[in-house]
Chain A
Amino acid sequence: MDASLLTTLGLIDCVVFKRVSVSEFQVMHNAGNWLDELLPETVNAKVFSFKQNSAYLEDFLIDAENLWIADKNGRIESGMWSEQLSSQLIRLEACAVVADHQGYLVVNKLDAKYRQKQQTLQIARELLLSTDRISAQHDYLHARFDELLSNQCNQALTAQQPVAQALAQTDLGVAILDPDLHLLNSNATLRSLFDDTNIKVNLPADKLLLELFRAQYPECERILSTASSWTGEIYWLNPPQQGKWLKLSIHPIKNEALKVENWLLSVSDVTQIKYLLKRNEKLTHFDALTNLPNRQYFWQQLETKIQQNRPFYLLYIDIKQFKRINELHGHLVGDEIIRDLSKRLNTLIHANDVIAKIGGTEFAVMMDVNHPHSQISSLDQEQCVKFAEELINASCLPFYLSSGLKCEVGLNVGAVAFPKDTHSAEELMKYADLAVYSAKKKALSCIEFYSKELIDASRKRIEMEDALRNAIENQQFELFLQPMLDLDSNKIMKAEALIRWHHANGDLIPPDEFIPLAEQTGLIIPIGKWVIKEACAILNRMAAKGHDIKLSINLSPRQVSDRQLFEFIKDTITKARVNPRNLELELTEGVLIDSYDKAHYLLNQVRQLGMSVSIDDFGTGYSSLSYLQKLPIDRLKIDRSFVKELNENNQDSIGAIILAVIAMAHSLKLEVIAEGVETELQKDFLKQHNCNIVQGFLFSRPVPFDDFCDLLERQKYSKVIPVSINTKHFYYRS
């Protein structure tokens, strides 16, 4: 077809240049009346060079020249740009091409495409700005009320002036509830949201919101029972008028011990935004970021699928610790990762499967099983596990971002089977949500299937969480002290403070059973603060008895990330009037590597204060020499696993590792502590090779404060070395 006809039909409006040599071009095709004005150097020229009349195009020529010089068939595009001519504003896009060892430059005039793209993006961006504004209002409100309410134990305080002011000042509808979801306070905006109807609303606004949430989101129960935050949209059908779309945010306000003091409901009317969405069908059913179907579309498909009455799996997928990625790299990078991840997941979906993005970092998949039977079989479960593994593997490959960064993510996958587990769409979503919540608790990416046992375990865990939350308030924690002996003097020089939990049921729970849970739930922050306070109190009690001993306390990863930690330590030491030199912090290698900058900063600060620092479990992790040199540390603790394995038969192999650590530490002028010492042979070996300090059952288990003081007393009056392992009694010899 004749090119001029195409131009007349408005199908193409472009110019084509042939590259003659470096910086010289020839006009091959000129369909546009705009070229002469844009690039006058092309007029009547057999061969021309660009004369800086289009800065954007000439900038693109740098990339184009690289392509042409490489002389391999291919093309690159410039991206759209605009040029203001005397009578018109034109929209262009250039393309550099190599075909049959010849370089071409094509410039397309794309006014129609520009308008179309602009119209779509205009709506999308107006939406983005509106939702962004509303989200910011909700976030600000949460922060403000967290500050106002989190430390108020007396609920009557919700009626106080600052709270009333904050309620009046916001454009959002707000309700403050007590932990049992009873209304304490609300504002006029909330009530006005439900005022414009002729139908009498029987429920108060806060109750109505919770009812709508309960009815429309199967996740409701789990969110309330686990004191989680939630934000989403609910629909209020208020006949005879048009329904209202409300953005609802549910936010627990917790006290220092992380116990829920209040629930905050904030609501805004987003009907207008939904109206904007309806103007573009694609935006109604598809997620703007990933182009995948959205939650509404997924629900429709789920209902249809259930009607077909054929077995399938519903997989609920959540990106592991995505909040951390957003915090570390920013939301733009976060968005880029979600977009790339969605592409990877989408390529793994089979023809009859459906994938959708159903929340900020959540996807859902309906996975078809490939047989005509009416029930799920164990083979199907294997197939589902395999599929989930494929999804997880796809997510684990690094993401190379446009900024040059490299990132890795993981997935939590929860699965539920239709019709085995339930027949209803609501329950499928609810059970899948519970399963994914359970998967979230695992350190590594995994799939969890819904089962009664899973729910029981989850309930047990929630009960344990509640009990842990109450433990601080009910003073159920106690610090046990495990002596550390100086091998030269055979005297107790220090002690490690180790937490024990006296559960209300009478059990004494060791830390390895509750610290991981505390770490996951964030309860480690208040518990860690209690440990610091209690350690200071113990130092004072010991000083009163005439003992000048150093106590070491353990810091967890989450504590190191707590920005207020140093201020807290400093305040506590000052208030308790203890000598900072009598306190030592113990951190594991993993914490140092994972939060290097934070740890480095914190350790410098505490050392300036006079405290010392030791590296716990040394040898099990990275054992990197470089951080040992760079970080301000005083001691290394050889991990118990090395010491424990040391016996008559392996002094050469295991002993060599221990000797290497001792030599390395001493060359860096660090002291060495060996933990887990249980036999005389181990002690003798360590002493013979100049290990400085030892700790272990050979000398004493961790003991309560009074027993520890007894040990110190006895030591005062005799040359003692404890020799026996015994929990209740301690044997000493002179």
Chain B
Amino acid sequence: MIQKKICLLGATGVGKTSLVKQYVEGIFSEKYLTSIGVKIDKKQIETAKQTVQFMIWDIEGIDRYCGFQAKYLRGASAFIIVTDHTRSQSLVEGLEILEMVKEVTDVPGVLAINKSDLPASWHWSETELEEIKQGFRQFFNTSAKTGEGVETMFSYLAHVLTE
């Protein structure tokens, strides 16, 4: 079995903790409770080649109260930038975070466009989104509430990291 560290990053309130909770425990809560610091969860996943143990680092939302901490990415095998498609600014901040991540590591990163159970109300055009997605290895529409895209996203990472 190999261990892989995955970092979840993104603006405040995009649903990083909820995504992990859905993926690891299959639980979702509507109540928004802000995270402080880091919480690490483990989950094993079988790929065609081997068993992977994910160490999923759920990192506090990056905003004016909590800056980007490059040290959290140390030893990471991949990262997920989570955005909320009901809030345009979450993608602006996600892209800023992507820039900062790229300064310190070149491990693969995927984009999670979360809250897909809600109607999209951000103002990004399809063309803009297509261009933005080019900056990532892959993108996923996810819902921490319904589970849509969550398993697929982590399975994709397991696949990429064991290739």
Chain A interface residues toward B at CB < 8 A: 55-56, 59, 62-63, 79-82, 84, 91, 93, 114, 117-118, 121-122, 124-126, 128-129, 132-133, 135-136, 140, 143, 288-289, 330-333, 335-336, 339, 402-404
Contacts and interface: CB of A to CB of B under 8 A. Distances in A.
A82 B64 contact: no
B65 A124 contact: yes
B92 A330 contact: yes
B93 A59 contact: no
B36 A403 contact: no
Contact of B99 (A79, A128, A330): A330
Nearest to A333: B96
A274 to B, nearest CB: 19
B13 interface: yes
A121 B39 contact: no
Given A132-B89, A332-B67, A403-B68, 6 more contacts: A59-B74, A63-B71, A118-B34, A128-B12, A330-B96, A330-B99
A407 to B, nearest CB: 14
A82 B38 contact: yes
A81 B39 CA distance: 6
A687 to B, nearest CB: 53
B70 interface: yes
A331 B92 contact: yes
B52 interface: no
Contacts of B39: 81-82, 84
Counting chain B residues whose Cβ lies within 8 A of the other chain, the interface size class is 35 or more
Given A79-B69, A403-B100, A56 B40 contact: yes
Contacts of B34: 118, 121-122, 125
Nearest to B95: A330
Q: Is the interface of A mostly helix, strand, loop or mixed?
A: helix
Contacts of B69: 79, 402
Contacts of B67: 332, 336, 402
Q: Which 10 A-B pairs rank lowest in CB-CB distance, beginning with the nearest?
A: A80-B37, A330-B96, A82-B39, A81-B38, A335-B64, A81-B37, A125-B12, A289-B64, A122-B34, A140-B123
A332 B68 contact: yes
B82 to A, nearest CB: 14
Interface string B1-45: 000010000001100000000000000000011101111110000
A82 B68 CA distance: 18
A91 B38 CA distance: 10
B45 to A, nearest CB: 17
Contacts of A143: 123
Nearest to A330: B96
A616 B83 CA distance: 46
Given A62-B74, A79-B38, A331-B93, A403 B103 contact: yes
B120 interface: no
B146 interface: no
Contacts of B87: 129, 132-133, 136
A126 B93 contact: no
9 contacts: A82-B37, A91-B36, A118-B36, A121-B36, A128-B64, A332-B93, A332-B96, A403-B70, A403-B99
A56 B72 CA distance: 9
The listed residue with most A CB atoms (<10 A of its CB), out of B63, B88, B95, B99, is B63
Contacts of A82: 37-39
B83 to A, nearest CB: 13
Contacts of B95: 330
A95 B81 CA distance: 29
Contact of B103 (A140, A335, A404): A404
B125 to A, nearest CB: 12
Contacts of B89: 132, 135-136
A402 B93 CA distance: 16
Contact of B68 (A62, A80, A402): A402
B161 interface: no
B61 interface: yes
Contacts of B135: none
A136 to B, nearest CB: 5
Nearest to A133: B87
A80 to B, nearest CB: 3
A118 B33 contact: yes
A122 B31 CA distance: 11
The listed residue with most A CB atoms (<10 A of its CB), out of B62, B65, B68, is B65
B88 A140 contact: yes
Contacts of A404: 103
Contacts of A55: 5, 40, 55
A403 B123 CA distance: 28
Nearest to B41: A84
Contacts of B55: 55
Contacts of A335: 64
Given A55-B40, A136-B89, A122 B123 contact: no
Nearest to B74: A59
Contacts of A128: 12, 63-64
Nearest to B101: A403
B118 to A, nearest CB: 13
Nearest to B122: A136
Contacts of A125: 12-13, 34, 61, 63, 65
Given A332-B93, A402-B70, A403-B100, A129 B37 contact: no
A332 B90 CA distance: 12
Contacts of B93: 330-332
Contacts of B5: 55
Contacts of B74: 59, 62
Contacts of B41: 84
A79 B93 CA distance: 22
Nearest to B13: A129
Contact of B38 (A56, A114, A136): A56
B59 to A, nearest CB: 10
A79 B97 CA distance: 19
Contacts of A135: 89
A81 B40 contact: yes
Nearest to A136: B88
